[in-house]
Amino acid sequence: LIGPRIATAEASIATARVQLAEAKLQLEKTTLVMPFDGQVLSSDVDLGEYVQAGREVAKLHDTTAVEIPISLTLDDLKWLPGLSPEALRTASDHAAAPFAQLPPATVQWRGETQVYTWQGHVGRWEAGLDARTRTLTLVVEVREPWKQFQPGEQPPLQPGMFCQVSIVARRVPNAVVIPRAALRPDQTVFVAINNALAIRPVRVLHVQKDRALLTAGLRAGEPLVVSPLTAPVVGMQLRLREVAPETLFSPLPSGSSAPAATVRTGGGSMSEGG
């Protein structure tokens, strides 16, 4: 009788060992390990809840880098050094190679009392144009966004922040920037010559927000009439009041260089006509 009892006990031990191994395996499956250093943005599971395979239980954020999508028109691409639609078409797997020549990207977030700045770079692009806006999406990457974090002084760059991104554009020699309001629909501007009105045709290269970039028709420093005139006639006498050019433009982000900011400002003697 002893022999059968021993065999039964050994079988019970073997069964228990199998059950223990199964329990340990099931316990391991209840532990989720992040494949990177990061933060939990949201969780969709409760303690003790049964989770089926493939279910989304949380949203995670990789704290080693932050990605910021920016939208550009195809016309905007010509302002980025070394970047063109052809360069994007020939790039394989949307790699970073086409963007190697681009200057760093300046990322700015405006808080309640001041503006905070981070440096990044264009790392990749998303294929195709946006069906609604017909724009191309480039992705700016900011590495180690927590590196500049200083409690009470500098916040970390976080997902959900609405930021402004600027990239230094290619330079345009011998170009002049004027207020967009000074550009007339027929591509002419009002100029004051010895306090008399002259109407000058100009060549417009680019228009950005409240400024226009000219490559012909106006020299830097020429007195430009920026106020509207009633029934303008060439040669009519003008009453002029000089205004500072910087008061006619909205400020560009610090350190950025949009097309209008990379050339000499045309307005050393901008004037108002009346």
CB count within 10 Å of CB 161 equals: 16
CB 136 within 8 A of CB 124: no
- Reported as half-sphere exposure (CB side, CA atoms, 13 A), residue 260 has a value of 22
Exposed (0-12), middle (13-18) or buried (19+): which is 156, by Cβ within 10 Å?
middle
Q: What digits encode the pLDDT tens for the residues 109-130?
A: 998 888 899 998 888 877 777 7
Asked if pLDDT for residue 271 goes beyond 50, the answer is no
SS3 of residue 7 by DSSP: helix
> What is the DSSP-derived secondary structure letter of residue 65?
E
The pLDDT tens digits of the residues spanning 35-71 come to 877 888 888 888 778 877 788 888 887 888 888 998 8
Which pLDDT belongs to residue 58? Answer: 85
% residues pLDDT > 90 (the chain): 5
Look up tokens 């223990």; give the residue.
20
Q: Would you identify the CATH topology of the domain 62-167?
A: Elongation Factor Tu (Ef-tu); domain 3 (2.40.30)
| Average confidence (pLDDT) over 237-252 | 71
Give, for 58, the enclosing helix (H) or strand (E).
strand 58-62
Query: pLDDT, tens digit, for every residue of 192-202?
Result: 888 888 889 99
pLDDT band at 1 (very low <50, low <70, confident <90, very high): low
User: How many CB atoms within 10 Å of residue 42?
Assistant: 10
CATH architecture of 176-272: Beta Barrel (2.40)
Mean pLDDT calculated for residue range 8-35: 85
The tokens for 188 are 């002419």
Retrieve residue 102's tokens: 């681009």
